[in-house]
Amino acid sequence: NPYQAAFDLPGWGFYVADRIAQHLGFPADAPSRSRACMLYVLEMAANEGHTAVEKPQLENKMSELFQIETEAFDAAFQKMVTEGDLVCRTVDGFENDLVYLGHLFEAERRIAAHVDRLLKAPLPVSRFDRQALIQEVIENLAIEPSAQQAGILEAILQHRMAIITGGPGTGKTTLVRAVCTLYKRLGKSVFLAAPTGRAARRLAEVTGREARTIHRMLLYDPDQEGFQKSEKDPLDADVVIVDEASMVDVVLMRHLLDAVSTKSRVVLVGDRFQLPSVGPGNVLSDLIDAGAIPVFELTEIFRQAAESPIVLNAHRVRAGQMPVMEPKTDPDELQEFYIIEQASAESAARQIVEMVASRIPDTFGYDPIRDIQVLTPMHKGIVGTIALNQALQQALNPQSPGIEVFGTTFRIRDKVMHLRNNHQKEVYNGDIGIVEDFDKRHQKILVRYDDRPVPYEKEEIQELTPAYAITVHKSQGSEYPAVILPLMGIHYPMLQRNLLYTALTRGKRLVILIGTQQAIRAAVENNRASNRLSTLKAMLADLKA
């Protein structure tokens, strides 16, 4: 069955399998073809972030793309529903029935059930009053929480499950540190986790405590392709705190909550205005909008952060306003935020290379490879990751010895990114390292991640890509001293408010936008990214009712 190979074998691709099947004489309305086409349409929808598709839309896609008409569609559809591959449900708020891949329906259903279970579980009363809370934080962290933070600390101890949200500079990190301190004072064990290795390392750095990826915390077994921690063997933690929760998709959230026992507490921390998860669902936003879980939003921007034009412009974009560059009072004064207008993609690309290679290092003293990160909305085009990586490699590292593998040249001192979670190597999707050595004869590469060298065999090198320029999506969970973001008309399909907002919040000390005012305005005004079709909010509303 060539269709099975399309789903089982990497690199096959559905359309390749379809051509092979037609060559073998498979009828256009063969049951195996109808099934494969339906799975393909639903998986493409999942890749776009949707957990379900309206049934008439699915039927139309089957007809338009694959010439599978009503009779063949109905026969395949009923069989797949009966066998559990698909789930069809009527959901409040939707005019048509919704069709889910079975595992995505189950993921949303179980998340809603776990939230309901945790919220209904009785909770012992905590002993702290507000003044005691403040004193405990001052003594342990040498920080006095604001009135808003103190109020949230007092309230959060009274809930089995809670969400902390807020924009940059509002003190989410301080609040997480304070929550950890208070639970430790109460004798509670706290597990810290984040969706990616980078986010987990950053969480460990800012809290001074161990933090792990969610996969590592749940003891993911790559051989079994599953988690050892589950309802049968839950996490031995009194409190589970998950940072960067906006990056968690429905499948991972389902497995996380599967492993949380009813005696534990869960605190989700994140910014709902950032890009949603790469995988399907809109979990953090759905949980907030459903109103079932207590949500504590930090709104006060602290004085030091309020003086940062990066933070101020991030909040402007978050509110749907254009970013602005403050006029200089001193011509020699260096700023944190710049907007440089370039009318063409070619001129923008040239300026990016010049900025990274010389102007920023000479002016600000940043290392062009380790400190400066180019972010871009797309892979393709002259200001996409592919072309920019080639130009930046040539500008920054043209003479170093290297090796070409699968059409990509890797040189010593190149900045590279790992693309897939590799639990054996303990290297995760989005981790950035530096090429340290290579073996041309055996086509091997050695990459250093922080203080740890990781070897790659030839077939594993496909897990690496140049990382002088990366997509905004890949930057989630990371921060960089300096960020350059091109926004041009050719990026129009990707120009969204949450993409620009996410990019701005990646820069710690310097952010430079290069492009056109029209492209920046298009991103600010386009807030449609939240229009993923997901039903977690509706499922939670049903339980609440």
Using one digit for the tens of pLDDT, what is the confidence trace for 66-111?
888 899 999 999 999 999 999 999 998 899 999 999 999 999 999 9
pLDDT (tens digit per residue) in 333-342: 789 999 999 9
- Which tokens go with 313? 């412009």
Q: How buried is 413 (Cβ within 10 angstroms: 0-12 exposed, 13-18 middle, 19+ buried)?
A: middle
Q: What is the rounded distance in angstroms from the CA atom of residue 394 to the CA atom of residue 498?
A: 32
Cβ atoms of 249 and 281 closer than 8 Å: yes
Cα 154 to Cα 63, 134, 141, distances in angstroms: 57, 9, 17
With residue 376 as reference, give the H or E element that holds it.
strand 372-376
The pLDDT confidence band at residue 11, using thresholds 50, 70 and 90, is very low
The pLDDT confidence band at residue 325, using thresholds 50, 70 and 90, is confident
Q: What is the rounded distance in angstroms from the CA atom of residue 196 to the CA atom of residue 199?
A: 5
Give the contacts of 354 (CB within 8 A, at least 6 positions apart): none
Closest CA to 505 of 232, 356, 305: 305
Higher pLDDT, 261 or 400: 261
Mean pLDDT computed over every residue of the chain:
90
Q: What is the pLDDT of residue 41?
A: 92
Q: What is the rounded distance in angstroms from the CA atom of residue 543 to the CA atom of residue 11?
A: 42
Q: How many CA atoms lie within 13 A of 288 on its CB side?
A: 19
Higher pLDDT, 17 or 301: 301
What is the per-residue DSSP string for 3-58? HHHHHHSTT--HHHHHHHHHHTT--TT-HHHHHHHHHHHHHHHHHTT-S-EEHHHH
pLDDT (tens digit per residue) in 171-204: 898 899 999 988 888 889 999 999 988 889 889 9
pLDDT (tens digit per residue) in 414-446: 999 998 878 788 888 888 999 999 988 888 999
Cβ atoms of 506 and 483 closer than 8 Å: yes
Give the contacts of 169 (CB within 8 A, at least 6 positions apart): 301, 302, 304, 305, 306, 308, 311, 315
With residue 163 as reference, give the H or E element that holds it.
strand 161-166
Q: What is the rounded distance in angstroms from the CA atom of residue 180 to the CA atom of residue 265?
A: 12
Closest CA to 179 of 159, 199, 200, 197: 159
Q: What is the pLDDT of residue 12?
A: 54
Residue 3 pLDDT exceeds 70: no
Specify the residue for token string 């390749």.
16
% pLDDT > 90, the chain: 63
Stated length of the chain: 545
Domains of the chain: 4-89 (no CATH), 107-301+531-542 (3.40.50.300), 321-421+464-526 (3.40.50.300)
The pLDDT confidence band at residue 545, using thresholds 50, 70 and 90, is low
- Which tokens go with 359? 């102007």
CA 418 remoteness from chain centre: 15
Cβ atoms of 371 and 381 closer than 8 Å: no
Q: What is the Cα Rg of the chain in Å?
A: 25
Cβ atoms of 280 and 251 closer than 8 Å: yes
pLDDT (tens digit per residue) in 27-40: 777 888 888 889 98
Partnered with residue 515 across adjacent β-strands are: 341, 487
Higher pLDDT, 36 or 295: 295
Residue 9 pLDDT exceeds 60: no
Whole-structure pTM value: 0.89
